[in-house]
Amino acid sequence: MADDTGDTGFRRLDWHTLTVPVDLPEIVDEISYERVVMNAGATWDYFPGHFDPEYAKRQGHPTIFVNTMHLAGFVDRIATDWAGPYSRVVRRKIALAGSIYAGDTMIGRGKVIGKRCNSSGSKPQYLVDLEIGVSNQRGELCCPAELTIEILED
Amino acid sequence: MADDISYRYAFGTYQDALQMVGARTPPRVAGTAVSGARIQHFAALVRDGNPAYWDPDFATLVWGGLVGPPALLMGWLIPQPWVPDGVRPAAGIAIRVPLPGRTFVNASNEAEFLIPVVEGDRLSVVEEVVSVSPEKTTKLGVGHFIQTLDTFMRDDGTVVALNRNTLFRFNPTEAAGGG
């Protein structure tokens, strides 16, 4: 695709020449205890399952786990790392099929499954639909997601 | 630990819970405006180098300011875990639905981001209980699925995002074979 970097120096995805489907680069992120605690601190979500391993174990979990916002942030990053900073997430649907625990590795994979132009508003909105999945190091799909991003035009 | 400020549950029966379907909270305003510090700490958590979060010149030119990560939407309205006047902030409406479950886990989430949230925006939220399921048994335990709809607004009244969340409020199965 003929992306240009324009006047800001940042890459701009060319929606018009984008061909579907496209596989996105895989992103791997190791989730330490520090990251799970940082997750609680960054989101202000002090549900004890995100910082207290004893509480988590009493609820049937092996240890503390990341919250929905962290998983959603990783899903968004998979899309916008690929599409560049002239893109933004306009819709995201995720299912929490399994938890990502401290000590786990998150593996994010994505695919572009469609593109469309929404002309219902005052100016056309250039949209890209993606399917994204976050798995753990055992290959278990923990968070399947559907995402739509908007690509800004020049 | 169980007296966590933000996680005090209402307990009751499924019939009690159904009484709350359709209930909407009055608008609740965030304690502080969207800030660069929180934007960047969240971006650091997720290891996201998007200049919309890190480069004020780029972000202002393209989006009107440093962008609040869409994934942090709910986080802007979570109250501080402690406040000086000692008034306990309200928990989210989902765990104030009276049910038997002692704990919860999120099941699914669907969000629409109509307008970018940027540094300086002061957000408010209206929460609504959309539905409560009959009793279900999952691998985690026995409980109910609660669907809520959160509507996020700027202080000029513009709706910036809609968030539909489903959580499972449950009592764990004693011999749970792991998550």
The set of residues, in sequence order, having a beta carbon less than 8 Å from that of B166 and lying 6+ positions away, is B106, B107, B108, B109, B145, B146, B147, B148
Name, in order, each residue with C-beta under 8 angstroms of A6's C-beta and a sequence gap of 6 or more.
A12, A154
Looking at chain B, which residue has its C-alpha nearest residue A67?
Answer: B106
The model's confidence at residue B5, banded by pLDDT at 50, 70 and 90, is very low
* Per-residue pLDDT at B77 exceeds 70: yes
Contacts of B38 in chain A (CB under 8 A): 42
Residue with tokens 């890209």: A128
Rounded to two decimals, the pTM is: 0.90
Mean per-residue pLDDT, B96-103: 92
Window 62-91 of A: residues touching B by CB (8 A cutoff) are 62, 65, 67-70, 72-77, 80-81, 85-86, 88-91
Query: Which pair of structure tokens corresponds to residue A103?
Result: 């000590």
pLDDT band at A38 (very low <50, low <70, confident <90, very high): very high
pLDDT band of residue B176 (cuts 50, 70, 90) is very low
Least CB–CB distance from B71: residue in A69, A96, A101: A69
- The CA distance from B146 to B21, in Å, is 9
Residues 105-134 of A with CB under 8 A from B: none
- Is a pLDDT exceeding 80 seen at residue B135? yes
How far apart, in Å, do the first and last CA atoms of chain B sit?
Answer: 22
Q: If you average pLDDT over residues A46-61, what whole number do you get?
A: 93
Q: Where are the domains of chain A?
A: 22-31+72-151
**Residue A23's pLDDT is what?**
97
Higher pLDDT, B140 or A64: A64
Question: Which residue in A10, A61, A89 is closest to B51 by CB distance?
Answer: A10
Lowest mean pLDDT segment, chosen from A106-110, A124-128, B81-85: B81-85
Q: Over pLDDT 90: what percentage of chain B?
A: 75
Question: Does pLDDT of B105 surpass 90?
Answer: no
From chain B, the residues in CB contact with A82 under 8 A are none
* pLDDT at position A91: 98
The lowest-confidence range among A9-18, A142-151, B55-64 is A9-18
Tell me, rounded to whole angstroms, the distance of Cα A7 from its chain centroid. Answer: 27
Residue B107: closest CA among A68, A112, A71: A68
Q: Which residue has the higher pLDDT, B178 or B161?
A: B161
- Residues from chain B contacting residue A59 (CB–CB below 8 Å): 103, 140, 172
Length, in residues, of chain A: 154
In order of their start, the domains of chain B are: 9-172 (3.10.129.10)
Closest to A48 (Cβ–Cβ): which among B4, B63, B111?
Answer: B4
Q: Which of B7, B50, B112 lies at the smallest CB-CB distance from A85?
A: B50
Q: Quick check: A65 and A99 in contact, CB under 8 A?
A: yes
- pLDDT score for B95: 85
Q: Do B67 and A88 touch (CB under 8 A)?
A: yes
User: For chain B, what is the mean pLDDT?
Assistant: 90
Q: What is the pLDDT of residue B1?
A: 34
Q: What are the tens digits of pLDDT across the range B120-133?
A: 999 999 999 999 99
pLDDT category of residue B178 using cuts at 50, 70 and 90: very low
Q: Best of B58, B73, B77, B109 to disrupt the A interface by mutation (most A CBs within 10 Å)?
A: B109
pLDDT of residue A35: 97
User: pLDDT category, A122, cuts 50, 70, 90?
Assistant: confident
pLDDT in tens, B12-55: 999 999 999 999 999 999 999 999 999 999 999 999 999 999 99
**pLDDT tens digits, one per residue of A78-118:** 999 999 999 999 999 999 999 999 999 999 999 999 999 99
Mean pLDDT (chain A, rounded): 94
For domain A22-31+72-151, the question of CATH label 3.10.129.10 is answered with yes
Residue A74's H or E segment, with its range, is: helix A68-83
User: How near does any CA of chain A get to the CA of B7, in Å?
Assistant: 7
ipTM field: 0.95
Q: Which pLDDT belongs to residue B88?
A: 63
Interacting residues of B156 by C-beta distance below 8 A, sequence separation 6+: none
Burial class of residue A135 (count of CB atoms within 10 Å of its CB; 0-12, 13-18, 19+): buried
Q: Is pLDDT at B159 greater than 80 in this prediction?
A: yes
Check CB contact of A47 with chain B, cutoff 8 Å: yes
Give the H/E segment covering residue B39: helix B36-46
Residues A67 and A141: their CA atoms lie apart, in Å, by 16
Interface membership of A48 toward B (CB under 8 Å): yes
Given a cut of 70, whether residue A153 has pLDDT beyond it is yes
Please give the pLDDT value at position A140: 97
* Helix axes A33-43 and A68-83, enclosed angle (nearest 10): 90
